[in-house]
């Protein structure tokens, strides 16, 4: 790779460098998955009297503290990235992830642990808002869907890695309950990779143009685009930036954001997509899958083995989504995901309520849960992040995605908090509630969500202006 900024006509070189940049940035997404997944295996050890001696309520705080931190990290991280740049914010997040993991590993009491879990949450939330945006802004239109979906693949890969670490280290906990410190501390490694790796990849050319750094933006485009497309894309980005500045577009504020009807409509669309994603029930299954499988008739040991399949199938689904998202489009995948997830939830609920003692019922419910996970992770999971990174114009992208991802994380927090209560009340009815949310999601997508497949980011903005700026 020519780091001098000279033009190269080798398409493979540009694409290879883009994928490297995508992979490094997506380490933030892997940490998202790892830090949300690892605590489930480590809680039983840190709760022991010889360790932190946690009550059930304190365990809940440790688990949900990250989620709450993520909500605030999302809303803070977006606007901050608009000011200092996508590259710099992701570099800082690598440092925060590393510090947070080390702090958790060496925590001597519940207060310190909660504080560092909250810090990790801030990084997780900010990464969830900024990683898709950075990737969307460096990716060419024809590869944008596939590259942004890499973030979802890395999230579920991080969860799978967490499940693997838990499985590998749990046997050691019988003789050393402090093994939980290693479980949490290993998150330092991908944090360091993100931290150092960001120095090797470019800043977003769109952000550089917004800051008046035209030469640097042109240099970046020469590194990541074929020579024939550099000038036309640079002109397109500059024209949009000029139009923004003619409208006194220095840095977007929250007051300005909510004062423009068409921007508010984008905000509503993005926020509702986040709510739909969470209330489809994925985190109820991912957080409490073992309980669901036990409730279906399996003993705890078998349930633990079957639940491990959730992590692997999440990767399978995310990879499938990665290769279909630019083929089928965003709207079709949203419709397909909500429809199939809704059907599997209803089917599982009916089987559990009508044939709870049948020999075939338990395994059928597990198969339905597996199908749900595959289709969710291949559709609703990545599409939500992708559309949110595409629908906001450059000027509002940081603050806008920050707000919508904040809403998404609040939804995550609510689902995680209520799921144990709902499952204790009635598992079948819990499935039905999430299925109803899927139906409502279908209606919303049909009415409000445009197709952004193959559409330049600047044209997505024009769609919302034409529809709502009246």
pLDDT tens track for 207-228? 888 887 888 888 888 887 777 7
Q: Measure Cα distances from 309 to 232, 293, 304 in Å.
A: 47, 12, 9
Whether 181 has a pLDDT exceeding 70, the answer reads yes
Least confident of 48-52, 334-338, 354-358: 354-358
CATH numeric code, 252-470: 1.20.1250.20
pLDDT in tens, 373-394: 998 988 888 788 777 777 777 6
Whether 307 has a pLDDT exceeding 60, the answer reads yes
* pLDDT score, position 268: 86
In the chain, CATH 1.20.1250.20 covers 10-201, 252-470
Which residues, including other chains, have CB under 8 Å from residue 14's CB and lie 6 or more apart?
8, 223, 224, 225, 226
Tell me phi and psi for residue 186, to 5 degrees.
Answer: -65, -15
Whether 103 has a pLDDT exceeding 90, the answer reads yes
Whether 470 has a pLDDT exceeding 70, the answer reads no
Q: Which two tokens stand for residue 173?
A: 């906990």
Whether 183 has a pLDDT exceeding 80, the answer reads yes
Q: Report residue 64 CA to chain centroid gap.
A: 17
Q: Is 431:331 a contact under the CB 8 Å cutoff? A: no
Q: Which two tokens stand for residue 6?
A: 């000279």
Whether 2 has a pLDDT exceeding 50, the answer reads no
Burial class of residue 248 in the structure, from the number of CB atoms within 10 Å of its CB (0-12 exposed, 13-18 middle, 19+ buried): exposed
pTM: 0.71
pLDDT in tens, 226-255: 777 777 778 777 777 676 666 554 556 667
The residue whose two tokens read 């409490």 is 288
The three-state secondary structure class of 226 is: coil
Residue 11 pLDDT grade (very low, low, confident, very high; cuts 50, 70, 90): low
Burial class of residue 426 in the structure, from the number of CB atoms within 10 Å of its CB (0-12 exposed, 13-18 middle, 19+ buried): middle
Whether 434 has a pLDDT exceeding 90, the answer reads yes
Q: Which two tokens stand for residue 179?
A: 């093994």
Tell me phi and psi for residue 195, to 5 degrees.
Answer: -55, -55
Whether 101 has a pLDDT exceeding 90, the answer reads yes
* pLDDT score, position 92: 94
Integer Cα distance of 244 and 117 in angstroms? 39
Q: Helix 214-224 crosses helix 227-246 at what angle (to 10 degrees)?
A: 150
CA-CA-CA-CA torsion for 366, 372, 378, 383, nearest 10 degrees? Answer: -150
Domain 10-201 is found in CATH 1.10.150.120: no
* pLDDT score, position 96: 94
């Amino acid at each position: 790779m020519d780091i001098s900024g000279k033009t190269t006509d080798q398409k493979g070189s540009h694409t290879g460098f883009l994928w490297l940049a995508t992979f490094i940035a997506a380490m933030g997404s892997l940490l998202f998955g790892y830090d949300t997944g690892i605590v489930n295996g480590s809680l039983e050890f840190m709760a022991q009297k010889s360790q932190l001696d946690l009550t059930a309520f304190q365990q809940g705080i440790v688990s949900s503290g990250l989620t709450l931190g993520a909500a605030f990290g999302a809303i803070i991280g977006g606007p901050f990235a608009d000011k200092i740049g996508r590259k710099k914010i992701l570099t800082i997040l690598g440092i925060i992830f590393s510090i947070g993991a080390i702090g958790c590993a060496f925590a001597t009491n519940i207060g310190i642990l909660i504080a560092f879990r909250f810090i990790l949450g801030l990084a997780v939330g900010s990464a969830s808002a900024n990683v898709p945006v950075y990737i969307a802004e460096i990716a060419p239109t024809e590869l944008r869907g596939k590259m942004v979906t890499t973030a979802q693949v890395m999230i579920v890969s991080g969860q799978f890695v967490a499940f693997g670490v838990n499985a590998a280290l749990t046997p050691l906990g019988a003789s050393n309950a402090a093994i939980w410190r290693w479980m949490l501390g290993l998150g330092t490694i991908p944090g360091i990779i993100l931290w150092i790796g960001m120095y090797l990849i470019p800043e977003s050319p769109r952000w550089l143009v917004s800051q008046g750094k035209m030469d640097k933006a042109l240099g970046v485009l020469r590194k990541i685009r074929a020579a024939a497309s550099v000038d036309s894309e640079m002109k397109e980005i500059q024209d949009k930036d000029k139009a923004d500045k003619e409208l006194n577009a220095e840095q977007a504020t929250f007051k300005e954001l909510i004062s423009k009807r068409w921007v508010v409509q984008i905000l509503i669309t993005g926020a509702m997509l986040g709510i739909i994603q969470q209330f489809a029930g994925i985190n109820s299954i991912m957080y409490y899958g073992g309980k669901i499988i036990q409730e279906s008739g399996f003993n705890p040991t078998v349930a633990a083995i079957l639940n491990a399949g959730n992590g692997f199938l999440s990767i399978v689904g995310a990879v499938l989504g990665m290769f279909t998202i630019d083929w089928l489009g965003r709207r079709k995948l949203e419709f397909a995901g909500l429809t199939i997830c809704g059907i599997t939830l209803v089917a599982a609920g009916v089987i559990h309520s009508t044939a709870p003692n049948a020999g075939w019922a338990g395994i059928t419910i597990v198969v339905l849960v597996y199908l749900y996970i595959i289709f969710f992770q291949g559709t609703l999971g990545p599409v939500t992040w992708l559309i949110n990174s595409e629908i906001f114009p450059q000027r509002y992208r940081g603050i806008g995605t920050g707000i919508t991802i904040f809403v998404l994380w609040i939804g995550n927090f609510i689902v995680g908090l209520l799921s144990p209560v709902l499952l204790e009340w009635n598992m079948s009815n819990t499935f039905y509630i999430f299925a109803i949310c899927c139906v409502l999601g279908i209606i919303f997508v049909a009415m409000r969500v445009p197709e952004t497949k193959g559409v330049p980011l600047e044209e997505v903005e024009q769609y919302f202006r034409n529809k709502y700026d009246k």
